[in-house]
Amino acid sequence: MPTTISLLDIFIILIYFGIILWIAQWASKSKSESGGAVDYFLAGKNSGWLVIGASLFASNIGSEIILGVSGAGARGNMPMANFEIIASLVLILLGWVFVPFYLRTGVFTMPEFLEKRYSVACRNYLSIISILAYVITKISLIIFAGALVFETIGISFWTGAIITVVATGFYTVLGGLKAVIYTDMVQAFILLIGTLCVTGFGLYALGGWDNLLAILTEASAVDGNPPREQFFNLWRPMADTEYPWTGMLFGAPILGVWYWCTDQYIVQRVLSSKDENNARKGALFAGYLKLLPVFIFFIPGVIAYALLQEGAIDFSLDNADQALPAMINQFLPSGLKGLAIAGLLAALMSSLSSAFNSSSTLLTIDFYLKYKPKASQKDLVRFGQFATVILVLVSLGWIPFMKSLMGGGIFHYLQSVQAYISPPIAAVFLFGLFYKWINAKGAIVSLWLGFIVGIFRLVAEFLSNEGTIVVAEDSLLGLFIGVNFLHFALFLFLFCGSVLMLVSKLTPPQPLETLELVTFKSRNLRPKFIWSTDMTLTVVLIGLVLMLWILFSPWGIAQ
């Protein structure tokens, strides 16, 4: 696509980079009284709810989410937006169920919590799986999706990737988690402003919502174009091959529990909070923010499709992920274009910095400190900085493999990989909190069996798609591969939960004194649901989710 970026746009983008680097420098000099590793990895445990919520949102909204969800809008594939809406409900679970345990045990990492609940073997499992997942999925996919952003401003993929990765790694190394979460707050604001501008200008150009619907209706009469109702319906039949309603309602939350409640990448933000109250409010605030992608990412994709029908912009529906960059590049006026591009770069850098910091935290706390228990605070910080540099280099080395491995289905690939690795982890965390008779032997057997089954599905599916092996649809392997990935996540979760309970029942329980801080059954940790502002915010958030589900349904007024 032609690039029409002006000097004003470039100036705005440069100002954005300047602000981000200044904040990182300020964060690196602003130390809490705790200092050392606590300051570097957990931002001195002094973060307020606003910063936590904005950071949770910004670290999650990477370029692969923005371009993937807006691309889904252009294809009329709205069920994909359900992942964003369901996240709001899972964040409630994070704030009310998981946060009290994480803060009261004083852990730095999720594997560390798993050790307190179960064993060192469970901790090592989660540490290794998490780091591999960050490098192979999160970091690499973020960089790969960012290629479209770089093309928007006329910078080649390789040049733009190297500049962004190095710059992000630099401020992550410089200031640790404090630099990450404070830059996240600024980047979340820039991202919202930029995407709202795209939505507003696009809708104005079409003549309003009614004209948008009219264009979609007219376009649907052409063979090959999706019907109008497909653009505003979150629910698909159970037989749908991609996003059946049963998979969305029962399978997607399992992915959400792993990602939002047990993944170091996300949970590290709430670990940095001043106290439990700020952590919970931050999680709820992020829940409200996660309702926005439907309007600021998906709807702009629908608008881009309508503008394409009108001949106002030009991009290929074969690569619908170009929808949002096409709107920014070909449609927004000078100045606002720079702001919108800065918003996309903000999402890219925010997600990368979060992945770098979380990975370096795992490497430092779960490996380096384990083998050097007498390491000083300065040694821990230095190793964390060194680990980030190594991750930057590994990520750059992984870039050449991305196009051949990922193809065009970035967002779908990301969700399916999570469906294959998340169920055993989600089962071990959830069952372990509620049932004190669940033990370490049950946990480790469940984790490894679940991992083997999930990886077998992933490898078999990949080899089948590549044509390396030929699988008959009616064969046992064909049926195994053919199960929708969200249904598979549900089945794998139930399988891992059954193994977890069976092995635990057949083996001796753990000593009760070791479970005092890590299970609900413990006398001091029974949930106390006293009506409060947080409860009101929770009920309102649930109401908003239900309202969106009804609004964007076959019977909703959005039709």
Same domain flag for 473 and 449: yes
First-to-last alpha carbon distance for the chain, in angstroms, is 33
Same domain flag for 350 and 412: no
| DSSP tag of 32 | -
Predicted structure pTM score: 0.86
8 A C-beta contact, residue 98 and residue 432: no
8 A C-beta contact, residue 489 and residue 254: yes
8 A C-beta contact, residue 327 and residue 307: yes
Q: Please state, in angstroms and rounded to a whole number, the distance separating the CA atoms of residues 451 and 259.
A: 16
Per-residue tens of pLDDT for the chain, all 559 residues: 455 678 898 898 888 878 877 776 776 665 544 444 444 444 445 578 988 898 888 778 876 788 888 988 999 989 989 999 999 999 999 999 999 999 888 888 888 899 999 999 999 999 888 887 877 777 777 777 666 677 666 777 677 777 777 766 665 665 554 556 666 677 677 778 888 888 899 999 899 999 999 999 999 988 878 888 889 999 999 888 888 999 999 999 999 999 999 988 788 888 888 889 999 999 999 999 999 999 989 999 999 999 999 998 888 888 888 888 888 888 788 888 888 887 777 777 767 777 777 777 788 878 888 888 888 877 887 887 788 778 777 777 766 665 544 544 567 777 888 899 999 999 999 999 999 999 999 999 999 999 999 999 988 887 887 777 888 888 899 899 989 999 999 999 999 999 999 999 999 999 988 888 899 865 454 555 567 899 999 999 999 999 999 999 887 755 5
- The pLDDT value recorded for residue 173 is 60
Q: Give the pair of three-digit tokens for residue 250.
A: 């029962």
Q: Is 33 helix (H, G, I), strand (E, B) or coil?
A: coil
Same domain flag for 13 and 78: yes
Counted domains in the chain = 2
Paired with 47 in beta bridges are: 273
In a domain, 546, yes or no: no
- The pLDDT value recorded for residue 224 is 79
For residue 344, what are the contacts with CB-CB under 8 A and spacing of at least 6? Answer: 63, 66, 149, 152, 191, 194, 324, 325, 328
8 A C-beta contact, residue 45 and residue 268: no
**Sequential DSSP letters for 299-353:** HHHHHHHHHHHHTSS---GGGGGGHHHHHHHHHSPTTHHHHHHHHHHHHHHHHHH
In a domain, 487, yes or no: yes
Q: Please state, in angstroms and rounded to a whole number, the distance separating the CA atoms of residues 156 and 52.
A: 34
In a domain, 419, yes or no: yes
- The pLDDT value recorded for residue 304 is 94
- The pLDDT value recorded for residue 448 is 96
Domain termination site, one of 374, 400, 426:
400
Residue 143 amino acid letter:
I
Q: Is 124 helix (H, G, I), strand (E, B) or coil?
A: helix
Same domain flag for 423 and 312: no
Same domain flag for 450 and 346: no
Same domain flag for 245 and 263: yes
Domain termination site, one of 351, 379, 400:
400
Same domain flag for 329 and 413: no
In a domain, 531, yes or no: no
Angle 211-214-218 from CA coordinates, rounded to 5°: 140
In a domain, 161, yes or no: yes
Residue 517 amino acid letter:
L
Same domain flag for 24 and 70: yes
User: By C-alpha distance, which of 556, 540, 553 is closest to 81?
Assistant: 553
- The pLDDT value recorded for residue 500 is 98
Can you state the angle between helices 82-93 and 533-551, rounded to 10 degrees?
160
In a domain, 536, yes or no: no
Same domain flag for 464 and 504: yes
Residue 130: what are its φ and ψ, rounded to 5°? -65, -45
8 A C-beta contact, residue 398 and residue 238: no
In a domain, 543, yes or no: no
Same domain flag for 200 and 250: yes
Domain that holds residue 311: 7-400
For tokens 């970026």, name the residue: 5
Domain termination site, one of 379, 400, 421:
400
Residue 334: what are its φ and ψ, rounded to 5°? -60, 140
Same domain flag for 188 and 101: yes
8 A C-beta contact, residue 86 and residue 75: no
User: Any idea what the CATH number is for the domain that residue 341 is in?
Assistant: 1.20.1730.10
In a domain, 375, yes or no: yes
Q: Please state, in angstroms and rounded to a whole number, the distance separating the CA atoms of residues 81 and 73.
A: 9
**Sequential DSSP letters for 504-559:** HHHSPPPPGGGGTTT-TTSGGG-------HHHHHHHHHHHHHHHHHHHTSTTSTT-
Same domain flag for 312 and 357: yes
